[in-house]
Amino acid sequence: MIDLRSDTVTQPTTAMRQAMAQAVVGDDVYGEDKTVTKLEETAAQMLGKEAGLFVTSGTQGNQVAILTHTKRGEEVIVEADAHVFYYEVGAMAALGGLQTRPIAGERGMMPLTAMEEAIRPQNIHFPETGLICLENTHNRAGGTVLPLSYMQSVKELADRNHIPVHLDGARLFNAVVASGISAKEYAATVDSVQFCLSKGLAAPVGSVLVGTAEFIEKARKWRKMLGGGMRQAGVIAAPGLIALTQMVDRLADDHVRAKRLAQGLANIRGIVVDVDRVETNIVIADVRDSGLTPDEFLATLSECGVLAAGFGGTLVRFVTHVDITDDHIDETIAAAAFTTRMR
Ligand SMILES: *Cc1c(COP(=O)(O)O)cnc(C)c1O
């Protein structure tokens, strides 16, 4: 099967499996796992922050960050299609007692004026604005890259209002590779960053959260409360280190393949793709004009050996990753053309 459902389906590389077998480990809740510590320090250094925290997933990293930054009853400004709002099971409300203030963005960017207006003034009736969340690259916008200048403007606005900013950088390294802007430069515009090791970077498990030493100390306790205190976690941190140090540059190949896939799909009658929007490894196709529902489209596509994912409404998402080759792209375009003709 050619599996384009997500970049989370990647298999760990041979080097990762060897590193897992040989990892030096200890009880990380006691702070004694040298491999975990090395991953946390490496991540913090790469992002120019004081400290890092290895977490079980991107969702856990985001929610630990949100819990650490906020108090119950506060309001969190989020883009209306943000992962923290759309895909995290309502955790902000359920675990944090927080109210979300979604603002519709363009290519993942909330308009600055709308953000400014959404920040609550002092008034006995109002909740306090406790946090602003950004997402780069932005998944539901199609893997779009938030420009550094935009993030700087958000930080300026947030600082003026004494509000922290958290970056959901699940795919931050895709933004880094696509833009040539370093992770450090992006991270300098926010207070905390969560990024995934388990997506395009191909590690089997985990994310890292980075921020100030004080922030990470508090976050470590929230992680423990959420059941994320892991013991000999070096066996899963070891492939994470390889992900960070060896798997970043090759993301460029995924981006080239995604662009080619987008162009190929756009040439098929019945499929609409905004090729210009494809900046990284995500391709969103609208299959409405094919006369097929996304489920029908995906079912036939899978009979042709290609998996993609429904993305709400009439949209289908394809994500390229390390296990996808040039031939797979050709086969996927052919399968999509066949699928649309089957109606
Ligand atoms: C995948 C993803 C997450 C969550 O990661 P999990 O490891 O699946 O919990 C968070 N934010 C974005 C933008 C993502 O794409």
Say yes or no to pLDDT of 343 above 90.
Answer: no
Domain with residue 256: its CATH number is 3.90.1150.10
Give the SS3 label for residue 41: helix
Q: Is the CB of 261 under 6 A from ligand 1?
A: no
- With a threshold of 0.85, does the pTM exceed it? yes
Which residue, 197, 213, 246, sits at the end of a domain? Answer: 246
Domain with residue 124: its CATH number is 3.40.640.10
Shared domain check, 127 and 45: yes
Return the best residue to mutate from 168, 282, 317 for the ligand 1 pocket (most ligand atoms within 8 A of CB): 168
Shared domain check, 274 and 205: no
Which residue, 223, 246, 269, sits at the end of a domain? Answer: 246
Shared domain check, 198 and 315: no
pLDDT tens digits for 172-218?
999 999 999 999 999 999 999 999 999 999 999 999 999 999 999 99
Q: Is the CB of 57 under 6 A from ligand 1?
A: yes
Shared domain check, 316 and 212: no
Q: How many angstroms is it from 83 CA to the middle of ligand 1?
A: 7
Q: Structurally, how many domains does the chain consist of?
A: 2
Q: 262-269: which pairs have CB atoms within 8 A and are 24 or more residues apart?
A: 264/329, 264/330, 264/332, 264/333, 264/336, 265/318, 265/333, 265/336, 268/333, 268/336, 268/337, 268/340, 269/340
Tokens encoding 219 = 């976050």
Q: Find the domain containing 269 and state its range.
A: 250-341
Shared domain check, 196 and 276: no
Q: Is the CB of 168 under 6 A from ligand 1?
A: yes
Nearest in space to 285 (alpha carbons), one of 317, 259, 312, 333: 317
Q: How many angstroms is it from 170 CA to the middle of ligand 1?
A: 5
How confident is the model at residue 111, as a pLDDT? 98
Index of the ligand 1 atom closest to the CA of residue 206: 7
Tokens encoding 150 = 């935009």
Compute the distance between CA of residue 314 and CA of residue 286 in angstroms, rounded to an integer: 6
Give the SS3 label for residue 231: coil
Region 262-288 average pLDDT: 97
Q: How many angstroms is it from 171 CA to the middle of ligand 1?
A: 8
pLDDT tier, 309 (very low <50, low <70, confident <90, very high otherwise): very high
Shared domain check, 235 and 278: no
Which helix or strand (DSSP H or E) is residue 191 part of? none
Residue 2 lies in a domain: no
How confident is the model at residue 342, as a pLDDT? 75
